Amino acid sequence: MQASDLTQHISRRFNEDLEELRNKVMAMGGLVESQLSKAIAAVVSGDSELGLEVANDDYKVNALEVSIDEGCSRILATRAPAAGDLRLIVAIIKTITDLERIGDEAEKIGFLASRLAAMDRPPDSYRELKTLGMHVLQMLRDSMNAFARLDDAASIKIVHEDERVDDEYEAIQRQCITFMMEDPRTIKRVMNVTWAARSLERIGDHTKNICEYVIYMVQGRDVRHTDLSESAPEK
Amino acid sequence: MSESGRKVVIGIGLLLATGALIGWSYGHVERGLLIAALLILVWMLRSLIIFERSIHSGEFNAFQYGDGIWQQMASRFRYERDRGDRYKSQRLQLLKEIRRSTRAMPDGAIILDEQLEIITCNRAAKTLVGLKPKKDRGQRVDNIIRDPALTELLRADDPTMTVDIESPMQDSAWLNCRLVPYGAGQKLLIIRDVTERIRLNKMRRDFVANASHELRSPLTVICGYLDSLAGDAAVPEDLRQPILQMQAQAQRMSIIVADLMQLSRVESSGRAGDEEHVDVTAVLTAAARAYAGLESSPDIQVEGDASIRILGITREIESVVANLISNAVRHTPKSGHLKLCWRKAENGAELIVSDDGEGIAEEHIPRLTERFFRVDRGRSREGGGIGLGLAIVKHILQRHDARLEISSTPGQGSEFRCCFPAARISAAT
């Protein structure tokens, strides 16, 4: 399946509907990306206003999800798409669910940022959270790029990237436990840090799901819960 | 007919005539003619085939000598072909240079068609936003660069509008985007790396905020001691005057610091919230009342439409009004008149502060909102202005999506008009 395949229908209206739907998904992706990026910036710079702004803007993501969902149902009902088109619609329906969840996690991080801003800041100003956050943000960006370009090879790479995110999360958790054991007074703050890290790790998982939908959309096979090494792109 | 063409016709005519003559000598004119015609045909065919082969191989050795029609054709063909080659290489050279210059451009340029789909881009666009020209051709540009601000820019389609977006390629790098019309219905998206500018701006803001914050605490101490000294009867008479002067200057300094802090606050925060309904008429009336009792203040008139409110922050609108009025009062003689007006306008509402004071020379108007800019450096010291008021006004208005328009005629007075868009206006409840 190629990006240009979308414009190969006899009905021009159908082409436009599909294009519009895809553009909306990308717009939603962009919004979620900027939400996540702002949330991370809020944690790192201790900017409680920015954190609350992220939390308050989550409704925009939700509104987009509802509107895209509607568009998908309309196409399913009126066009009865088949093959690549059907896979595209199915992938979109699943992708926006994950994007919406990512938006929720970003909202959560925004909240935590505003809470963390009110507490003592550690000397490293949450460097480990920033590293993990940047990693996850890059994954999200790459996965949306893969979705736009229908790039299954890139998707497979991103799915593997998620393992490294899990490792980083594990390391942060260990570090947090050490802090809490050393000085119980930091428990309140460090708990918030673990929650933020947990949210970032969840975002990594959702991103991985999106990549799996991309592979499904391009190759037509479901790679969820399977060993990905088998699913090298067919040439 | 050309020289060689005539030669061919004459040659063929002669050949046919010779054939007819020989045929006639044998008593068969038509056979002689036929044989001559066949000979001509064979010769022509042979030349044609050789010519065709020469065109393919590009070698015209067979037609090198002589000036017959075939030689002429061959040399003409060769000439045209060489000229075409020369042109082509010139064009290629030109194209290469254009390509090289677009590649050397530090700004990213992306050419879009009417549907905002990518046609092509230069190398800087590849590195700045991670475009893959071959793969992304035909994609909508905001599918690849997915910043909500950029989508807004594409929708607005305004060549003067620019937006700053975060770079998708590099952490904490900023790109400035601008969309300009290009060719027939196409658009050119220009992307510029403005990380340095944004960083410098931030540094300047942080510096002003930190410096004024640091200055405030020692000033408070100084002011406190000076206040108690000024009221202390035990202070010797010869020290009284210096202490009073010190007190006045210290107070002036705290006002400057407070203004600087307010400026850096309104400058660094984003768009103002729109939860409060600001009753501008009440703000104007209260501000006018504060000046009414003062000896040096001119006559102040308030004309407010109480039915419309601003959606914004009351404290900041109050500050706008206070700054505008204090400016106007300072530059209007006691016999002058000041008019405060709040009314509906074409697209929203406007707040006007006008006076019939000394006015401002035209060349100073564009610089009025710069910080610490003063029209007359000498006189403003005793007048009390420090040159931050209008900068604060400008930034607060920006935060409220409003703009400041200044018009003035020297000797006749000035008018400061704050135009608020309809989205920021609500009807009184």
Q: Let me know if residue A121 belongs to a domain.
A: yes
Q: Rg for chain A (alpha carbons), in Å?
A: 19
> Across all residues in chain B, what is the average pLDDT?
85
Q: What distance in Å separates residue B358's CA from the closest CA in chain A?
A: 43
Closest CA to B278 of B402, B413, B120, B104: B402
Q: For residue A8, is pLDDT > 70?
A: no
CA distance B108 to A88: 32
Out of B138, B140, B171, closest to residue A4 by CB: B138
Determine the distance in angstroms separating the CA of B320 from the nearest CA of chain A, rounded to an integer: 23
* Domain span holding position A70: 3-230
Put simply, whether B358 touches A (Cβ < 8 Å) is no
Whether B387 and B371 map to the same domain: the answer is yes
Mutate to test the interface with A, among B113, B131, B135, B143 (most CBs of A within 10 A): B143
pLDDT digits (tens, 9 = 90+) for B292-350: 777 777 888 888 888 888 888 888 888 888 888 888 888 888 888 888 888 888 888 88
pLDDT tens, residue by residue, A28-76: 999 999 999 999 999 988 888 888 889 988 999 999 999 999 999 999 9
Judged by a CB distance cut-off of 8 A, whether residue B268 touches chain A is no
Displacement of CA A149 from its chain's centroid (Å): 17
Residues A114 and B230: their CA atoms lie apart, in Å, by: 45
Whether A37 has its CB under 8 Å from any CB of chain B: the answer is yes
Distance CA B261, CA B213 (A): 7
The span from the CA of B324 to the CA of B205, in Å, is: 24
Residues B262, B397, single domain; the answer is no
E strands, B92-244, in order = 108-112, 118-121, 162-166, 174-182, 186-193
When scoring A141, A145, A151 by the number of chain B Cβ atoms within 10 A, the one with the most, hence best to mutate, is A145
Residue B87: what residue type?
A: Y
Q: Which of these, A137, A120, A134, lies nearest to A186 by C-alpha position?
A: A120
Whether pLDDT at B380 is above 60: no
Q: What angle do CA B32, B34, B37 make, to 5 degrees?
A: 110
Cα(A68)–Cα(A82) distance, rounded to whole angstroms?
Answer: 19
Q: For tokens 């949450």, what's the residue?
A: A126
Domain boundary among B100, B117, B140: B100
Tell me which chain B residue has its CA closest to the CA of residue A141. Answer: B168
Over residues B374-387, the mean pLDDT reads 62
Cα–Cα dist B175/B106, whole Å: 12
Q: For residue range B208-260, list pLDDT tens digits in order.
A: 888 888 998 899 999 999 989 888 888 888 888 888 888 888 888 888 888 88
Q: Is A134 on the interface with B (CB under 8 A)?
A: yes
* Gap between the Cα atoms of A234 and A219, Å rounded: 8
Is A23 within 8 Å of B130 when comparing Cβ atoms?
Answer: no
8 Å CB contact between A96 and A28: yes
Q: Apex CA B190: angle with CA B189 and CA B195, to 5°?
A: 135
Residues in chain A with CB shorter than 8 Å from the CB of B171 are 134
Chain B residues within an 8 Å CB radius of A37: 166
pLDDT at B384 over 60: no
| C-alpha pair distances (Å), B145 with each of A34, A206, A208, B180, B202 | 11, 21, 20, 17, 25
Same domain, B294 and B401: yes
Are residues B206 and B187 part of one domain? no
- Please check whether residues B160 and B298 belong to one and the same domain: no
B237 φ/ψ angles, rounded to the nearest 5 degrees: -60, -40
Q: Is position A235 within any domain?
A: no
Residues, chain B: 429
Q: For the domain that residue A27 is a member of, what is the CATH number?
A: 1.20.58.220
The CATH number that applies at residue B234 is 1.10.287.130
Q: Which of B130, B146, B171 sits opposite A26 (nearest CB)?
A: B146
Give the nearest chain B residue to A143 (CA atoms).
B144
Please say whether the beta carbons of B278 and B308 come within 8 A.
no
Contact check, Cβ <8 Å, B146/A149: no
A191 in a structural domain: yes
Q: Based on the fold, state whether residues B221 and B284 are members of the same structural domain.
A: no
Rounded to the nearest 10 degrees, the angle between the axes of helix B69-104 and helix B3-26 is: 150
Q: B410 and B283 share a domain? A: yes
Q: Does A29 touch chain B (CB under 8 A)?
A: yes
- Is the Cβ–Cβ distance between B351 and B326 less than 8 Å? no
**pTM exceeding the 0.80 threshold for the entire prediction:** no
3 state SS of B34: helix
How far apart CA B318 and CA B325 sit, in angstroms, is 11
Q: Are B217 and B261 in contact (CB under 8 A)?
A: no
Determine the Cα–Cα distance for residues B75 and B62; give it in Å rounded to an integer.
Answer: 11
State how far the Cα of B193 lies from the Cα of B108, in Å rounded to an integer: 9
pLDDT per residue as tens digits for the range B211-221: 888 998 899 99
Tell me whether 0.85 is exceeded by the ipTM.
Answer: no
pLDDT top residue among B383 and B309 = B309
Find the domain containing B149 and state its range: 105-193
Which CATH number fits the domain that encloses residue B308? 3.30.565.10
* Number of structural domains found in chain A: 1
| Number of residues that make up chain A | 235
> By the CB < 8 Å criterion, does A3 face chain B?
yes
Any residues with CB less than 8 A from the CB of A118 and at least 6 apart, and which? Answer: A48
The residues in B 130-169 lying below 8 A from A, measured between CB atoms, are 130, 132, 135-136, 138-140, 142-144, 146-148, 150-151, 166, 168
Closest residue in chain B to residue A3, using alpha carbons only = B139
Nearest residue of chain B to residue A5 (CA atoms):
B138
Q: Which of B422, B371, B375, B411 is nearest to B395 (CA)?
A: B371
Instruction: Write down the residue that tokens 């065919």 correspond to.
Output: B45
- Give how far the C-alpha of residue A43 lies from the chain's centroid of Cα atoms, to the nearest Å: 18
Sheet with B425-427, edge to edge strand ranges: B276-278, B308-312, B425-427
Q: Are residues B413 and B333 in the same domain?
A: yes
Q: Which residues in chain B are closer than 8 Å to A4, comparing Cβ atoms?
A: 138
Tell me the C-alpha distance between A92 and A84, whole Å.
12
pLDDT at residue A234 tops 50 = no
**Can you tell me the mean pLDDT for B138-147?**
85
- Residue A62 burial (CB count, 10 A): 13
Which of A22, A144, A149 has its CB closest to that of B136? A149
For B409, residues 6+ apart whose C-beta sits below 8 A from its C-beta are B359
Neighbouring CB atoms inside 10 A of B253's CB total 16
Report the domain count for chain B: 4
Percent of chain A whose pLDDT exceeds 70 = 92
C-alpha span between A106 and A35 (Å, rounded): 6
For residue B120, the Cα-to-chain-centroid distance in whole angstroms is: 21
Q: Give pLDDT, residue A10.
A: 67
Of A19, A23, A30, the CB nearest to B147: A30
Mean pLDDT of A127-156: 91
- Chain B contact set for A151 (CB, 8 A): 135
Tokens representing B177? 């985007």
Q: Is A23 on the interface with B (CB under 8 A)?
A: yes
d(CA A6, CA A219) in angstroms, rounded, equals 15
Task: Estimate to the nearest angstrom the gap between the alpha carbon of B265 and the chain centroid.
Answer: 26
Asked if A34 lies within 8 A of B166 by C-beta distance, the reply is: yes
Contacts of B138 in chain A (CB under 8 A): 3-4
Q: How far apart are CA A219 and CA A221, in angstroms?
A: 6
Count residue pairs from A and B with Cβ separation < 8 A. Answer: 49
Report how far apart, in Å, the C-alpha atoms of B362 and of each of B293, B390, B411 are.
33, 16, 12
